[in-house]
């Protein structure tokens, strides 16, 4: 690709944004916000959905199945990228992302009117999972289409600015879903919301869908695709060209490992894992934690656009890789500082009350469980999963082969039990007894049951969370423009969508469960940060050595 000053004024400088281009950005961004809104509703309401659609099994299994359906949406995103990326390169950007938003909106609305298990039995969860798969496929096709469409309308020198508005949409969609849920919940009350009011946020999506479709119907096809169609140079086999020719496949792999994998783990750490850490590790009350995250998002979101603009001046690559480098260097001190300011009693207990798990290493699993289906029932796993979930740091000590795990809390020794071969009822009873004994032990050692609201420093905690969001904006703000600029027009939609959704759907989407498994294995509540740090380091090295800057690339070719 060569360097030009495309769509510039007579002086060669980038011209001001036109009315049509403002409409393109608004329509594409608004539609993508609504898509993310639809996608995140399910995750926010998974526990309630489990009650209604998986009530044919016990409560724990029901929630597991609900999480499986949520994970399915992440898992199929790359396949949506292939299906709709190919369609977008064959028939056009506008028509393809009209299809994706229709699929997302209709499937979300159908969840809102779908009869529960009590009404239609096993058919209910089957239809629910199918609808969730459709949502994941639609989202896999939406982002690449919106980013490509906006970038192909943007003047040279402003693509980072134009596409940065698309980058705000995932955060805004999540924020919108939480606001609607909170509003309906407050209006109806908890009992009515759980009984039937949870359907309202899903039903509202049909209104959002109507607005999005109406706006998008007024848009024209992107200039680059129109020109290519007029010249008869549209790809006849975009999948083969994208992934069957080494020159382009190499770019796809570089985009994945040298850009989107690192971007994804920084994005998920700064928003989802930070919330998980506050609520699950530090035991901050959920509403308080959500408010802190919401404030950090509000403060940080404008910086998506700031870094998009900056990337037009100094380049995409240095900003994205600088965000990865800062994450590598600062995650450990920042998360330790969050512990200090959000739950100082836990920090004190970790320092003063060491815990040791003495177990046969062969009975200790790496508890990676991305869809919630695995059972970890050895004496070692039962002990470690409890300690990890209760933010107890512990050391590992090898025991004789075949021995039952023991947990040393100061001078107290608690013996676990072997859960393999027990009936479900007996396993449940003995697990409850073990947890009670461990709870008594760690409380006596000073580990708090929850964070004391009076001892939280909200200003510093929010400031630290805002810093994490700023790292998100650094890696995410310029990424759309860079992905668009890496690939030729004829296969752009297909080529950029796949690495983006593998990076974000798989590397990022599995971050919380992978990090928890690392914590359970090592016994340190901060060791889960090694996952995003290692992935970000991989991206930093590959991106620095092999990925070329793209801000001056000609995207009309």
**pLDDT of 28-38, one tens digit each?**
777 778 767 87
**Angstrom distance (rounded) from CA 289 to CA 283:** 9
Cβ pair 90, 395 in contact under 8 A = no
Cβ pair 505, 256 in contact under 8 A = no
Confidence of residue 508 (pLDDT cuts 50, 70, 90): confident
Cβ pair 104, 213 in contact under 8 A = no
Give the phi and the psi of residue 421 in degrees, each rounded to 5. 90, -10
pLDDT at 374: 61
Give the phi and the psi of residue 413 in degrees, each rounded to 5. -120, 125
pLDDT exceeds cutoff 80 at 429: yes
**Angstrom distance (rounded) from CA 140 to CA 80:** 4
* Average of per-residue pLDDT across 524-532: 93
Average pLDDT value over all residues in the chain? 83
Q: What is the pLDDT of residues 448-498, one digit of tens each?
A: 989 999 999 999 999 999 999 999 999 999 998 999 899 887 788 788 888
pLDDT exceeds cutoff 50 at 7: no
pLDDT exceeds cutoff 50 at 211: yes
> Count of alpha carbons within 13 Å of 470, Cβ hemisphere only?
12
The better pLDDT of the pair 314, 373 is held by 314
220-to-24, 94, 95, 160, 215 alpha-carbon distances in Å: 9, 7, 10, 21, 11
Q: Of the given ranges (68-72, 170-174, 325-329), which has the lowest mean pLDDT?
A: 68-72
Cβ pair 239, 86 in contact under 8 A = yes
174-to-35, 38, 43, 185, 271 alpha-carbon distances in Å: 10, 9, 10, 17, 10
* Average of per-residue pLDDT across 19-46: 74
Neighbour-count burial of 411, counting CB atoms closer than 10 A to its CB (0-12 exposed, 13-18 middle, 19+ buried): exposed
The secondary structure element, H or E, covering residue 39 is helix 19-44
Task: Looking at mean pLDDT, say which of 122-131, 231-240, 436-445 comes out highest.
Answer: 436-445
pLDDT exceeds cutoff 50 at 9: no
Cβ pair 149, 20 in contact under 8 A = no
pLDDT at 338: 97
pLDDT over 70 percentage in the chain: 87
| Best CA proximity match to 516, nearest among 378, 366, 407 | 366
The secondary structure element, H or E, covering residue 483 is helix 479-486
Structure tokens at 273: 């894992």
The better pLDDT of the pair 403, 75 is held by 403
pLDDT exceeds cutoff 70 at 325: yes
pLDDT exceeds cutoff 50 at 8: no
Provide CB contacts within 8 A for 163, sequence distance 6+: 147, 150, 151, 154, 308, 480, 481, 484
The secondary structure element, H or E, covering residue 408 is strand 406-409
pLDDT exceeds cutoff 50 at 2: no
pLDDT at 1: 39
Provide CB contacts within 8 A for 431, sequence distance 6+: 382, 419
Contacts 24+ apart (CB under 8 A), 301-304: 301/168, 301/171, 301/172, 301/469, 301/473, 303/469, 303/470, 303/473, 303/474, 303/477, 304/164, 304/165, 304/167, 304/168, 304/171, 304/473, 304/476, 304/477
Confidence of residue 5 (pLDDT cuts 50, 70, 90): very low
Q: What is the pLDDT of residues 189-209, one digit of tens each?
A: 888 998 999 999 999 888 888
**Angstrom distance (rounded) from CA 108 to CA 466:** 31
Q: Cα–Cα–Cα angle for 500, 501, 504, nearest 5°?
A: 85
**Angstrom distance (rounded) from CA 483 to CA 252:** 9
Task: Looking at mean pLDDT, say which of 106-115, 215-224, 255-264, 287-296 comes out highest.
Answer: 255-264
Alpha-carbon Rg of the chain, whole angstroms? Answer: 25
Structure tokens at 42: 């399910």
pLDDT at 224: 61
Cβ pair 268, 509 in contact under 8 A = yes
Provide CB contacts within 8 A for 430, sequence distance 6+: 417, 419, 422
Longest CA span, the chain: 81
pTM of the shown model: 0.82
> Which residues share a beta bridge with 398?
359
* Average of per-residue pLDDT across 308-331: 96
pLDDT exceeds cutoff 90 at 226: no
| Best CA proximity match to 217, nearest among 97, 84, 87 | 97
pLDDT exceeds cutoff 90 at 526: yes
Number of CB atoms found within 10 A of residue 332's CB: 14
What are the structural domains, with CATH classification, of the chain? 19-234 (1.20.1250.20), 244-352+453-549 (1.20.1250.20), 354-444 (3.40.30)
Confidence of residue 392 (pLDDT cuts 50, 70, 90): confident
């Amino acid at each position: 690709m060569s360097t030009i000053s495309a769509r510039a004024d007579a002086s060669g400088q980038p011209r001001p944004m036109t009315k049509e281009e403002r409409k393109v950005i608004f329509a594409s961004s608004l539609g993508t916000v609504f898509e993310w809104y639809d996608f995140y509703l399910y995750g926010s309401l998974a526990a309630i959905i489990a009650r209604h659609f998986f009530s044919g099994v016990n409560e724990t299994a029901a929630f597991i199945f609900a999480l499986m359906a949520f994970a399915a949406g992440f898992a199929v995103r790359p396949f949506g990228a292939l299906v709709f990326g190919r369609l977008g390169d064959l028939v056009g950007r506008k028509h393809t992302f009209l299809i994706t938003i229709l699929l997302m909106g209709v499937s979300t609305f159908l969840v809102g009117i779908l009869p529960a298990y009590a009404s239609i039995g096993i058919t209910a969860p089957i239809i629910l999972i199918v609808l969730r798969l459709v949502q994941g496929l639609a989202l896999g096709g939406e982002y690449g289409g919106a980013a490509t469409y906006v970038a192909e309308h943007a003047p040279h020198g402003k693509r980072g600015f134009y596409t940065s508005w698309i980058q705000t949409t995932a955060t805004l969609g999540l924020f919108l879903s939480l606001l609607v849920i909170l509003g309906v919940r407050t209006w109806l009350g908890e009992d009515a919301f759980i009984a039937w009011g949870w359907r309202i946020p899903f039903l509202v999506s049909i209104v959002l869908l109507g607005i999005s479709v109406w706006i998008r119907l007024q848009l024209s096809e992107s200039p680059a695709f129109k020109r290519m169609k007029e010249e008869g140079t549209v790809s006849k086999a975009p999948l083969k060209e994208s992934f069957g020719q080494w020159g382009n496949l190499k770019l796809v792999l570089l985009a994945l490992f040298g850009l989107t994998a690192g971007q994804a783990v920084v994005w998920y750490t700064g928003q989802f894992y930070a919330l998980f850490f506050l609520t699950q590790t530090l035991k901050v009350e959920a509403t308080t934690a959500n408010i802190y995250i919401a404030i950090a998002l509000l403060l940080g979101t404008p910086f998506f656009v700031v870094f998009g603009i900056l990337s037009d001046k100094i380049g995409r690559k240095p900003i994205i890789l600088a965000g990865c480098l800062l994450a590598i260097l600062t995650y450990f001190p920042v998360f330790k500082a969050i512990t200090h300011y959000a739950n100082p009693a836990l920090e004190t207990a970790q320092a003063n009350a060491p815990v040791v798990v003495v177990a046969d290493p062969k009975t200790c699993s790496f508890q990676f469980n991305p869809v919630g289906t695995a059972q970890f029932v050895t004496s070692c796993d039962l002990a470690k999963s409890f300690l990890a979930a209760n933010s107890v740091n512990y050391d590992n000590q090898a025991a004789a082969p075949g021995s039952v795990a023991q947990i040393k809390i100061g001078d107290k020794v608690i013996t676990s039990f072997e859960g393999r071969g027990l009936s479900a009822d007996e396993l449940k009873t003995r697990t409850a007894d073990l947890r009670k004994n461990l709870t008594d032990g760690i409380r006596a050692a000073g580990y708090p049951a929850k964070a004391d609201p009076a001892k939280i420093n909200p200003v510093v905690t929010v400031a630290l969370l805002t810093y994490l969001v700023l790292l998100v904006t650094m890696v995410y703000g310029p990424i759309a423009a860079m992905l668009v600029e890496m690939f030729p027009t004829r296969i752009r939609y297909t080529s950029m969508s796949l690495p983006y959704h593998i990076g974000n759907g798989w590397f990022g989407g599995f971050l919380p469960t992978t990090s928890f498994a690392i914590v359970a294995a090592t016994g340190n509540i901060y060791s889960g940060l090694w996952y995003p740090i290692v992935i970000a380091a991989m991206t930093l090295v590959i991106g620095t050595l092999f990925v070329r800057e793209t801000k001056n690339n000609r995207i009309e070719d």
